[in-house]
Structure 1
Amino acid sequence: MSSKDDDPNDRRVGSDPNRSNNTRGDPRSTNLKPISPAEAVEWYLHRRRNELASSSLKTHRSSLRHFTKWTEQVGIENLNELDGRAIQRYLTWRAEEAPTSVDHLAPKSEKTQIDITRKFVEYCETIDAVRVGLHEQILPFRVKEADEVRDEMLDMGRISEIHNYLETYHYASRDHIIWTLLAESGFRIGALRSLDVQDFDPDNRTLRLRYRPESETSLKNDRGSERLVGLIRDGTVEALQAYIDDQRVSATDEYGREPLLTTRNGRVARSTIRKSVYRWSCPQALGDECDHDDSMTSSDAWRCGNNACPHMVRAGVITYLLREDVPIDYVSDRCDVSPSVIRTHYDGRSESERMEARSQAIAEQLAN
């Protein structure tokens, strides 16, 4: 019978810093230098600041914030104390106890946390904070193909229903423009937030996305995400112009730029865009029944558990384009996502729908 000390989920951590530091035979493993977990995290983030896109750096910062919180809870003040069992206890805690909105991290999210932890520990080896080779004890997390595919998306029919409602009852409002551009282009919220008034060209019916990290509007793939997006849908240009002329809060950001989407404080925050999607995708927002808390009003429907997140809108738009037989390379360019990622994460078509699309494309090529 194994003792409680053998339980990998037991979060008690020994206080002997030499307990696991002399097992690899590397001379550096016996010459560790004390450093607090929080300081090591800051060193790591500073080291990676020019290697990672700003969105990725934020993900690393958020992940490692959980790590420092855990070390505080279990009493690790010196990172030299970290060993394989401690890391396993942390990763178990991160997956099962730390999440606040779900009972357990989804497989893809858990993989992200493990990968970041592994990178961090590997860096810590180079600054003599943990023993050499410790990162190798963090085994790669394999995600099943079924878990790779995100089957959650907002159907284009529902997206259109919400958009039409806003166009009818809240024309040229900020929420109307957010939903118009999401439905039109499948933008990520970072791209939508980055737009300036000057990026809109009504004469040529386009929006230009630019990578401007120096003024805090990065894009997912840095300069690789810069592109000119055509506004195809009838009414989009007119709604945008009406919003700019009549509804947009006149404001500049702290860099002197004129954001397209504004609040009284300047450029909209990402959370403002998310709340717009959460609020209007709640069934109650359009007058339908919803089983959320009876005390919830339409103004705080963004808290509803039956709503959609921006990523689900993006997935719905991409799937709609594929179902309409738009070539995957065109969808890739328009929505700034590689064909392989589209196939794995965004393609919500059924197996038979994909087969029919392939057959039709082959038949058309053979006919030519």
Structure 2
Amino acid sequence: MSKSNGHDGPSDLSPREALERFLDRKRIETSKQTIGTYQSRLKLFVEWAEEEQIARVSELNGWLIDKYETARRARDIAPLTLNKEMGSLRRFIEYLERIEAVEEGLSEKVPEVHVPKEDQSDDTKLPTARANLLLEHFRPFERETRGHAFLEIAWNTGARLGALRALDRRDFDPENHAIAFRHRPDTGTPLKNKAEGERVVAVTPEVVQAVEDYLDGDRWDKRDEYGREPLLSSRQGRPGINTVRRMSYQVTLPCNYGECPHGQDIPECDFREVNHESKCPSSRAPHHIRTGSIGWQLDCGIPIEVVATRVNSAVKTIKKHYDKTTERQRMERRRRQHIDKLSFNTTQ
């Protein structure tokens, strides 16, 4: 065998070295956020392997993988979480098979974790009623804020966190009431689904008004390191992922529009302090806004195929993970769309 990076071959890679190679490969084909997800899940496996004194990935076998799954299950983590961890481990082992670092077929020995149907997706979302209260609270303001503009865009488009962060000022088209999502990996803002994630989304007049007022008033006139003008700018230029996430938590605090539902004294509430907003049980992350928005769009009678295009998701994914309606609510949705077609006049 030929020498490579100081090793006799891929089978001599340590689990940690193999993970770094796997992540390097993934960086070519997926988003930074997805890389972070792989890293956070697989580092648990690497740390366990090191504790078990597994020096080379070639030592891995079905028994050791079963031991790892048992060790993770003993932590009493949710089945959905364990399912996702094992899925990432399977992708990792498949990569090791491809480079001939482990025995062929080892990935098939990664256990399938059963997830009860009721636990197959996260039900946390921003409910439509609360979204309406928040928007009603922000809209009368004479000086529009970045947080308000963010909420209007996020709720109306159902876009992902990374897509919202990637927006430039030029992507906002007030004349045509539209916002364009563009894949720009060379200047730091890839979309999750790359070029396939590009689309132009129509927005309501209220969104246009809020964003125009924000651009005329509260927006920091800054460029990012590539000379682009971020739409939701920060003092430094383009906001980081964590900044956008905090923006979401801040703008969805229920005390923005009324009394605290958790019995807190609002002026003294710790949840209102900077970087503590996420601790409020009622604040919501961008993904929760996305989940609520998708359900709201469906409830408005927009065909699921159209919603899928707007939010850049597959129809089957929306049905499985985002449509949080009950069977009765789905019946009512179908009824509103088609009930008139079923009427007939007995006198005709």
Shared fold, TM over 0.5:
yes
- 8 Å Cα contact 2:41-2:85 kept in structure 1: yes
Aligned partner of 2:317 in structure 1 is 341
Aligned partner of 1:166 in structure 2 is 138
In 2 relative to 1, CA 301–347 (structure 1 residues): closer, same or farther, beyond 3 Å? same
Aligned partner of 2:296 in structure 1 is 320
Does residue 202 in structure 1 map to residue 174 in structure 2? yes
Alignment of 1:1-368 (within 5 A): 33-94=11-72, 97=75, 104-107=77-80, 109-168=81-140, 171-232=143-204, 234-289=205-260, 290=262, 296-299=270-273, 300-365=276-341
- 8 Å Cα contact 2:253-2:283 kept in structure 1: yes
Distance 1:263 1:241 in 2: 17
Cα deviation, residue 193, structure 1 = 0.6
* 1:268-320 deviations in Å (ceiling 9; x for gaps): 11211211222333334445222579761523333223422222211211111
Aligned partner of 1:4 in structure 2 is none
SS at match of 2:201: strand
Distance 1:285 1:67 in 2: 42
In 2 relative to 1, CA 159–361 (structure 1 residues): closer, same or farther, beyond 3 Å? closer
* 1:35-68 deviations in Å (ceiling 9; x for gaps): 2111111222233343445443332233222222
Amino acid at match of 1:301: E
SS at match of 2:18: helix
Cα deviation, residue 142, structure 1 = 4.0
- 8 Å Cα contact 1:280-1:302 kept in structure 2: no
In 2 relative to 1, CA 239–307 (structure 1 residues): closer, same or farther, beyond 3 Å? closer
Distance 1:49 1:274 in 2: 22
SS at match of 1:236: helix
Amino acid at match of 1:151: D
- 8 Å Cα contact 1:212-1:218 kept in structure 2: yes
Amino acid at match of 1:39: E
> What is the number of residues matched between the two proteins?
331
* 1:317-340 deviations in Å (ceiling 9; x for gaps): 111122222221221222222222
In 2 relative to 1, CA 292–61 (structure 1 residues): closer, same or farther, beyond 3 Å? farther
SS at match of 1:119: helix
Distance 1:47 1:297 in 2: 40
SS at match of 1:266: coil
Cα deviation, residue 240, structure 1 = 1.1
Give me the CA root mean square deviation.
Answer: 2.7
- 8 Å Cα contact 1:249-1:264 kept in structure 2: yes
In 2 relative to 1, CA 127–326 (structure 1 residues): closer, same or farther, beyond 3 Å? closer
Distance 1:265 1:135 in 2: 44
Distance 2:235 2:118 in 1: 44
- 8 Å Cα contact 1:285-1:301 kept in structure 2: no
State the TM-score, normalized to the length of structure 1.
0.80
Cα deviation, residue 249, structure 1 = 1.3
Distance 2:158 2:228 in 1: 24
In 2 relative to 1, CA 285–84 (structure 1 residues): closer, same or farther, beyond 3 Å? farther
In 2 relative to 1, CA 75–295 (structure 1 residues): closer, same or farther, beyond 3 Å? farther
In 2 relative to 1, CA 328–141 (structure 1 residues): closer, same or farther, beyond 3 Å? same
Distance 1:114 1:43 in 2: 19
Distance 1:131 1:174 in 2: 53
In 2 relative to 1, CA 227–121 (structure 1 residues): closer, same or farther, beyond 3 Å? same
In 2 relative to 1, CA 106–143 (structure 1 residues): closer, same or farther, beyond 3 Å? closer
Distance 2:175 2:137 in 1: 27
State the TM-score, normalized to the length of structure 2.
0.84
